[in-house]
Structure 1
Amino acid sequence: MRASTGCQDAMEFPRFTFNPKEGIDNPALVISDDPEPDPSLVPRLCQLKCLEGQSFGFYLQVDQSSCGLEIRDVDPWSPAGHSGLRQGDRVLEINEKYVHNMDLHRVVRKIKSCGLHLFVLVLRREEYEQAVSLGLDMQTLAKASKGDRWSRPRLCHISRHPDHGLGMTIISVPGQKGQYVMSIATNSPAEKAGVRTGDKLIWINGVMVSTLTHSILSKIVKKNGDSVTVLVIDSESEFSYVRRKLPILPVLAECCSLPHSAKTMHLEKGSDGYGFLLRQEKLAGTRQIVHVLREVDVGSPAAGAGMEDGDLLLAVNGELVETMEHDDIVKKIRQSGDKVTLTSISIPGRDFYRKLGISPLLFHDEWIFQDDTQQTISCCTKNLNETPLRNVEDTEEAASGLHSGTLTSQLPGRTFEAFL
């Protein structure tokens, strides 16, 4: 981990497990070839793919002069270096989402939840400074690289109606192996879930359909019975992705009607603490260790914030903790003072996202604290201890328990740098 002058401690991103279903064979730099009024101000799109145990290989910091996001210290042999990211590049979009001038911590959390694939739209420093001097709108520049009629792919969950079924038909495109389009009944579950007739089917229940025959697709739909989750895109937008050599993946999608979502809870400590236990347990039938919220006291701050017994803890004050050591999580909450922000998800919810091969935080947009000036950045470590968390009293029992507050510290007017 490195840090630059005037910056808070850098934050290293957690490692991700490689998902071959979403693999990209060539994470090379892709440059948009759309004609622009000023050819010198064409943003370029960089595709990064990490392998298991590998970082993206660059730092991200706020440029104090413009408040834009700046790429720093790119490792030439890393995914960032191979993608074409360069020192001084200014970030306009992350995964097709406009982030220019967005809070750095929020952008960092978006990157943390995206898995092994990252897509960054940037301008060179000189191009960016020229655009600023001309008073150009950065979002307009970003959109211009995609074409006039463009939208992100949609990840849609369709629940079967007892009388009308799913309300969709998957049709093979004649002469194009592995290509399928959707035909949707009016007012059907599929239409209500966000799927439209003529949409291209890209992905179903975590599997890219380009490798599937129509008969296998039909079996997948029947096997899942009550519901299916599909990734679709309209034909014009698909053309934009093909032209830009950009794979269509869930990480680039907008979320439509997914049945489970992460929950962010803002807790303020009461006279008896927060009113819950944090335990490290094994998921039933697996060897996987998880951090579980237990024994939520009736009438406690935890209960009032919506905490439910058995939910899995994903983040503390916006920092991912799934891979952290139990004692480190306890320490983080204790250091928070009298307030803490916890993000959790139910076990069925986590199972749902695991089957899809995506993070339950990919579409979770409740990361922003009630006070954005309060942030904590630190590193993740691994270990497998089991200790309940409850009170913050100076007792031996409380040393393994937790009832503390927000993992925050005042950082007014500071510049942050995060290592990815």
Structure 2
Amino acid sequence: MKKHSGKQHMHKETLGIEEDLELTMKFPFNPKLGIDNPALCLGEDPGTDPEPAPRVCVLRKDANGTFGFYLRMEIERDGHVIRQVVPGGPAHLAGLKDGDQVLQVNGEYVHEEAHIRVAQKVKASGSRLSLTVLDEESYEKMCAEKISPISILTNYIPESCPRPKLCLVRNEGKGFGFTATATGGVRGTFLLTVEDGGAAQKAGVPQGARLLEVNGESIVSLTMSQLNKKLQQSGSRAVLLVLESSAWAMYESCGIKPSIAFADTSSLPYQPQKLYLVRCHQGYGFLLRQERCVGGQGQFLRELDPGLPAEVAGMREGDCLLGVNGQSVEGLEHEDIVSLILESGNQVTLLVISNEGDRFYREIGTSPLLFYEDKSHNKVSEVY
């Protein structure tokens, strides 16, 4: 890797650390702003003594780029605890409560992970964040009964339940290839009729799908005229989050509202790529640069040398760097990322996405790492 002397410096969010006390990560908030996703909670029968049941809460950052809660590590409790949820902030509106125990971040089990790693995962989530939590009482019950935290996560969404699909529909002069129909006169409830051979069908939109989001925004409160206006403003492409209509009842029976946190992105043209590089005597053959991009700063791969390891591994000019050796680089200082690569020795594994793909995910306010699956191991990879 070449050295870039003119790199910019990213602002690094401070994490307060006190020796032997607690590690706190603060997300300030604007109480006047909310989110477009309600709390996603599992209900329980008030007439029974229920087993500890997780809740899935999806948050969207406010205009200041904050979530509105503290993530803490406490001496008297294992794992990671939600504290100081400010009334009216995104966390409060998403259903988080003081004392909630965090079990998953963006679908990844984190209960036993180091606190600073969990904080990094939260920071790397983009403008959306999915947390699976237990309320404090349920967590204490789980501990008293010696129930494994991971065991209560296995059955709250049936494996047979179809996942929402994130689809990029391009208008190539003949429209988006679908029509929306409001059902039952309910605001925000739209089913899609997909034209054979049209743009929506090519993008993977199922026939009769229920529409959940357009361009990263929930349509739950829209009228038909408002939805049409939003689609007209989309220009030449629209990003749709849809769900097979038959699956809606399955989610309702589990007490969960489907969201982008569960999305299948396999039909999207933009997918992260894992690159394995072995250094030669001339180095890796690329330059890592920090550059301005949609929503802030990014790390981009430039000036590839023909025939050297980076190009041979499949790196492309302008790729955005997402991870180094299984660790997220989102939110890290440029020099820290360079150090991660140099400390790797003569070989390094990089996770990258095309420049266009990076811009796509930034524009809809989420991170590609939320959906990344390591197909080489046939399982969901670590979230970087």
Q: Distance in 1 between the 2:235 and 2:33 partners?
A: 22
Aligned equivalent of 1:365 = 373
Match of 1:152 among 141, 163, 188: 163
Q: Which residue of 2 aligns with 1:294?
A: 302
Q: Which residue of 2 aligns with 1:142?
A: 156
What letter corresponds to residue 179 of structure 2 in structure 1?
T
2:342 maps to 334
Separation in 2, partners of 1:261, 1:244: 30
Contact kept in structure 2, 1:293 and 1:313, CA below 8 Å:
yes
* Paired residue type of 1:277: L
Taking structure 2 as the reference length, the TM-score comes to 0.69
Q: Which is greater in Rg?
A: 1
Contact 1:106-1:367 at 8 Å conserved across structures: no
Structure 1 spans left out of the alignment, 5+ residues: 62-68, 370-374, 378-420
Number of the residue aligned with 1:401: none
Q: Which runs of 5+ in 2 are unaligned?
A: 1-15
User: What pairs up with 1:374-385 in 2 under 5 angstroms?
Assistant: none
AA at the equivalent of 1:23:
I
CA shift in 2, pair 1:278/1:308, >3 Å: same
Does 194-203 or 100-109 show the bigger shift?
100-109
Residue 260 (structure 1) aligns with: 270
Match of 2:194 among 165, 180, 184: 184
Alpha-carbon distance between aligned partners in 1 of 2:326 and 2:245, rounded to the nearest angstrom: 37
Q: Supply the distance in 1 between the matched residues of 2:287 and 2:27 (Cα, whole angstroms).
A: 27
Distance in 2 of aligned mates of 1:360 and 1:297: 27
**Matched residue, 1:127:** 142
CA distance 1:201–1:303, change in 2 (3 Å):
same
Distance 2:29 2:310 in 1: 32
The 1-side partners of 2:146 and 2:197 are apart by 46
Cα separation, 1, equivalents of 2:273 and 2:154: 33
**In 2, are the aligned partners of 1:41 and 1:131 still within 8 Å (CA)?**
no
For residue 139 of structure 2, what is the amino acid of its counterpart? Answer: R
Is it true that 1:347 corresponds to 2:355 in the alignment?
yes
Residues of 2 paired with 1:110 and 1:120: CA distance? 13
Q: Which has the higher contact order (CA 8 A, sep 6+)?
A: 1
How do 1:91-106 and structure 2 match up within 5 A?
91=103, 94-95=105-106, 97=107, 99=109
Counterparts in 2 of 1:204-243, with a 5 A limit?
Answer: 204-221=214-231, 224=234, 226-235=236-245, 237-239=247-249
Q: Which of 163, 187, 209 pairs up with 1:199?
A: 209
CA separation in 2, counterparts of 1:305 and 1:266? Answer: 6
* 2:156 counterpart letter in structure 1: A
Aligned partner of 1:389 in structure 2 is: none
Provide Cα deviations, 1:20-59, integer angstroms capped at 9, x if missing partner.
99815865x94422699x8431413153646534575335
CA contact (8 A) 2:188 2:223 kept: yes
2:70 maps to 57
Structure 1, 102-111 or 263-272: larger mean CA deviation: 102-111
Please report the RMSD computed on the Cα atoms of aligned residues, expressed in angstroms: 4.8
2:51 aligns to what? 41
For 1:304, the aligned partner's letter is V
The count of corresponding residues between Structure 1 and Structure 2 is 348
Contact 1:71 1:86 in 2 (8 A): no
Identity score, percent: 27
What's the CA shift for 1:60? 7.5
> In the alignment, residue 317 of structure 2 is paired with which amino acid?
D
Deviation at 1:260, TM superposition (A): 1.2
Question: What is the deviation of 1:302?
Answer: 0.8
| TM-score (ref. length: structure 1) | 0.64
1:83 to 96, 100, 103: 96
